[in-house]
Amino acid sequence: EAEVAQSPRYKITEKSQAVAFWCDPISGHATLYWYRQILGQGPELLVQFQDESVVDDSQLPKDRFSAERLKGVDSTLKIQPAELGDSAMYLCASSLGRGATEAFFGQGTRLTVV
């Protein structure tokens, strides 16, 4: 069964360090999302790609976060420098694209900033 792959599953980093997360969506899925989920809350959208283009990054803290999906397939989310408040689960999801209602989520990367 096709899955959204994310790595690493867990990451511990010191504040002010750089950290990166990787996501490989389901093959053929044009839309890719990065969400941040704080414990006990719902996922919050950070950035959404349609193929290689960013279509929504209004909630992405652009002074420290960046995301790319250069070839319209896999994607990387980077934080530099990491802050204590960045500790959260970072979820990647993908969907077929426009008009698709079902998004498939990966297992997420649990980030702890110390």
Partner 1 sequence: GESVGLHLPTLSVQEGDNSIINCAYSNSASDYFIWYKQESGKGPQFIIDIRSNMDKRQGQRVTVLLNKTVKHLSLQIAATQPGDSAVYFCAENKDSGYSTLTFGKGTMLLVSP
Which listed residue (88, 108, 111, 113) binds partner 1 by CB under 8 A? 108
25 part of the interface to partner 1, by CB under 8 A: no
Asked whether the beta carbons of 60 and 44 are under 8 A apart, the reply is no
Asked whether the beta carbons of 78 and 22 are under 8 A apart, the reply is no
Residue 101 CB, nearest approach to partner 1 (Å): 5
40 part of the interface to partner 1, by CB under 8 A: yes
Residue with tokens 């006990």: 40
DSSP run (H or E) holding 53: strand 53-56
Rounded CA separation 12/96 (Å): 32
Which listed residue (28, 56, 80, 112) binds partner 1 by CB under 8 A? 56
**Nearer Cβ to partner 1 (3/14):** 3
Asked whether the beta carbons of 32 and 51 are under 8 A apart, the reply is no
What 3-state DSSP class applies to 84? Answer: helix
Which listed residue (42, 63, 70, 84) binds partner 1 by CB under 8 A? 42
Residue 45 CB, nearest approach to partner 1 (Å): 7
The site for partner 1 (CB under 8 A) is made up of 4, 31, 33, 35, 40-45, 48, 50, 55-56, 91, 93, 95, 97-108
